[in-house]
Structure 1
Amino acid sequence: MLFFILSTIGKVLTKDEKRDRAIMARIKARDPDALSELYDQYNRLLFGLILSILKKRSEAEDILQEVFTTIWEKADMYDLERGSVYTWIVSLTRNKSIDRLRSKVYKEQKKQSTSLDDEDVFHPLYPDKNDPLEDTILTDRAKRLHAALDKISNKQRKVLQVAYFNGMTQSEIADEYDIPLGTVKTRMRDGMMKLREILAKELEL
């Protein structure tokens, strides 16, 4: 549902898609050095994404390892002629994170719930000063992304947040937070359109 956001953000956050595709071609050819290069390029950004979803460092570390293991084992699943490498690996990372979030074991371990009224959902607080997510956020590109998120309404931003980071469907959001389904759809549509417009302008800078 939020796939276009991934694609647009990818164009803002990545520098060289041609390089990434070359790396993926080498991974398909079973070059372990290529996997190391891809890891060096994206591990901090992906770790930040996973941590934003799971809120647990140990879980995030496990999922990050799973992601790159999957990239190595299933590199043939990526079609060099379709889509960006960034979009593929971020989608893979999000899917694995959501699967863990929804797993029975993780639900039993997690004692807190995310609220639409929680202002930390887009700007979570992490105690470690040298946290990889914090380092990523401090980059110019990540600053522009957060600035774009700040430009849409709180209601739009928070509905998109629980849909993306919590993996909730529109119907689940409506039921969980007692919001009419039509309202949820409108907020998500308007929010995504606004983000598309803002991020497209970023690409022109």
Structure 2
Amino acid sequence: MQDLFLLLVGFLIGLAAYSRVQEAEWMRRIQDGDEEALRKLYRTYKNIIFGLLLSILNDREEAEDCLQEVFTQVWEKADRFNPDRGKPYSFIVTIARNKAIDRTRSKVYKNIQRQEHTVGDFTMVPSARGNSPYKDTVLGNRAERLREALQQLSEKERTVIQIAYFEGLSQSEIAERTGIPLGTVKYRTRQGMIKLREMLTEED
């Protein structure tokens, strides 16, 4: 289900993103131990990644702690990034997704009272301290488009996507959780992803 995360976060980054060439250069410098390059990458992605973590964890303090862990791991595992195999944001999002899902599955986290997730939780754009008004507007508009696209999915498609996104369950785990046949889960997920891609690339 990693493609779901990359699709949603990639769409949100969109117009607000910096040069991919520049970001790849920052990653190269981080691999060489350049802390200033890490700070630049952090400033570029901190708000969007924080929003991703917050939408999954639904707890601001947990998300803030997890954000620091994400960029610590970016620093420690920078040598694993290969610009020929993906973009910097996909590398960071993969780390963030894994960190957030690990936390939701931990015994301590499961004891925390949480609200039930809804489409509104897909915002991924918290109050963005340090952003320019233009960037805030772009991200806000894109977040709204994302919510509208999710609302246009059928309830059955949206349900499997929400479970995959917020709980990180595999398709077989979703089938077991919901009692829906695995083939049906795969079909609904595939159809939902196709529709999201079509809607999010319109007029983009």
TM-score (norm 1): 0.82
Counterpart CA distance in 2 for 1:48 and 1:112 is 17
Q: Does 1:59 align with 2:56?
A: no
Equivalent residues in 2 for 1:46-85 (5 A)? 46-85=49-88
Identity over aligned pairs, percent = 48
Tell me by how many angstroms 1:22 deviates.
1.4
Q: 1:106 pairs with 84, 106, 109, which one? A: 109
Counterpart CA distance in 2 for 1:31 and 1:196 is 36
Unaligned runs of 5+ in 2: 130-135
Unaligned runs of 5+ in 1: 115-119
Name the counterpart of 1:89.
92
Bigger CA drift: 44-53 or 166-175?
A: 166-175
Q: Does 1:152 align with 2:149?
A: no
Name the counterpart of 2:3.
3
Indicate conservation of the 8 Å contact 1:9/1:145, yes or no: no
Counterpart CA distance in 2 for 1:175 and 1:145 is 28
Name the counterpart of 2:133.
none
Question: For 1:79, what is the secondary structure of its paired residue?
Answer: coil
Tell me by how many angstroms 1:33 deviates.
1.1
Name the counterpart of 1:176.
177
TM-score (norm 2): 0.82
Name the counterpart of 1:123.
120
Counterpart CA distance in 2 for 1:103 and 1:192 is 28
